[in-house]
Amino acid sequence: MLRIGVFADVSNLYFCCKEKFQKKINYLKLLQFATGENSCIAAVTYGIRSTDSGNFIKALENIGWKVNFRVPKGFLDGSKKADCDTHMILDVVRYTELLDSVVLCTADGDFAPLIEWLHEKRRKVIVIGCNISHELTEIADTSLEITEKILE
């Protein structure tokens, strides 16, 4: 039995699935799909905390996800940023020694250097996402497109 860590970029998954399917992810099904019969050491979601995210966060926690949602920083030009990718990468690095495989639930090509580093550490990397970037499909051990079975 492999020791698996699942790290999900909620914002990326939301927008990709909304665009492709006009539906939302079922995070219980995603977690079950990502871990299979393996031992789940970590299951962490990353996203932006807003005034209406409380119920969603509680629902994620109730099905076994650790939630790392950040309050975004506001800038003078009106833009906002929460650096969720950075926090996701740091958590993956922190957990690496405890894991045999890392499951990255994102389609964002910015994670390619992390996958290279994980390969240097001899970890298998599976990417699960919707419209996964070419950078990730080329470097991940396995890349799996989200299907209707994982949606609400």
The encoded tokens of residue 20 equal 């492709």
Q: How far is CA 94 from the centre of its chain?
A: 15
pLDDT tens, position by position, 100-128 = 999 999 999 999 999 999 999 999 999 99
> How does the average pLDDT of the chain come out, rounded?
95
| Full set of structural domains in the chain with CATH | 20-147 (3.40.50.1010)
The encoded tokens of residue 13 equal 């998954």
What gap in Å lies between CA 31 and CA 29, rounded to an integer? 5
pLDDT at 53: 86
pLDDT tens, position by position, 4-21 = 999 999 999 999 999 999
- Helix residue ranges, H only, the chain: 10-21, 27-35, 54-62, 84-95, 112-120, 134-139
DSSP 52: T
Single pTM value for the model? 0.94
Find where tokens 């070419």 sit: 134
